[in-house]
Amino acid sequence: MTAQTILLVEDDPSLRTLTVRLLQENGFLVRSATSAPEMWAALEAGPPDLIVLDVMLPGTNGIDLCRQIRRDSDVPIIFISARGSEEDRVLGLELGADDYLAKPFSRRELVARIRAVLRRGPMADANEKRRHEVEFDGWHVSFTRRELRSPSGAIVDLTGAEFDLLGTFVAQPQRVIGRERLIELSRTRLSDSSDRSIDVLVSRLRRKLSAAGGKPPIVTVRGVGYMFSAAVSRG
């Protein structure tokens, strides 16, 4: 596997140096830019596999920058922000950032996020990546916002693990998914590594999907695993 290129856009010199070193140590090829013009120049020179973008750059707003990049490129973007509020995160993700990291972050965290985004990035199935919204039984799942809405339009909170589980289910509707497979999938997730058994996660998800007395669409297949019974339509 050839080394992947990361473009780091960060205006603070020391932080830039530290991050560049960190990424190089982890086997990435790193190019860095201190401002928006430099970033555009670097993009001209050759498309990176991923951009790590500080939201607060002098003179420009990272959010506008992200919007501009997205106009003609699908390159994965990870936001680095000094604000770290939930609203910022949602806004960043909506604008097409693939992930959002608040300062300060640990080395492990940054590398893990980059790896995760790269994994589901261009390497992943193109259909998978475009699958931003799906619907079933009137329920609405937005993968960009990582949000589930009930048939009446209400936001239904899910933990990270629950959302990933739901994502797995809606990706393979009407198919029995073995417990072992689900456990494996939930283990590969980086954050939210709760030790809860998959059965607890499923029962919680079921309870949340049981609004208005309707039957939850997750069926237990005795001895094998679970099946998502509802028809899923891509939005």
- The residues binding another protein (CB under 8 A) are 12, 14-15, 18-19, 21-22, 56, 82-87, 90, 102-108, 150, 152-159, 162, 194-196, 204, 207-208, 210-212
Q: CB of 97: closest distance to another protein in angstroms?
A: 17
Q: CB of 221: closest distance to another protein in angstroms?
A: 24
Instruction: Give the residue with the Cβ less far from another protein, 98 or 162.
Output: 162
Instruction: Give the residue with the Cβ less far from another protein, 2 or 152.
Output: 152
The SS3 assignment for 235 reads: coil
Please state the length of the chain: 235
DSSP secondary structure string, 80-114?
Answer: EES---HHHHHHHHHTT-SEEEESS--HHHHHHHH
DSSP state of 125: -
92: left (phi over 0), alpha (psi -120 to 50) or beta: alpha
Q: CA–CA distance from 12 to each of 18, 20, 101, 193 (Å)?
A: 10, 12, 16, 32
Instruction: Give the residue with the Cβ less far from another protein, 25 or 125.
Output: 25
Q: CB of 46: closest distance to another protein in angstroms?
A: 26
Q: CB of 157: closest distance to another protein in angstroms?
A: 4
Token pair in block for residue 115 = 């790896």
Instruction: Give the residue with the Cβ less far from another protein, 75 or 112.
Output: 112
Distance between CA atoms of residues 134 and 74, nearest Å: 20
Q: CB of 51: closest distance to another protein in angstroms?
A: 18
User: If we measure between CA atoms, which residue out of 141, 187, 133 comes closest to residue 163?
Assistant: 141
Q: CB of 154: closest distance to another protein in angstroms?
A: 4
Instruction: Give the residue with the Cβ less far from another protein, 163 or 169.
Output: 163
Instruction: Give the residue with the Cβ less far from another protein, 61 or 174.
Output: 61
Strands 60-61 and 133-136 turn out to be: unpaired
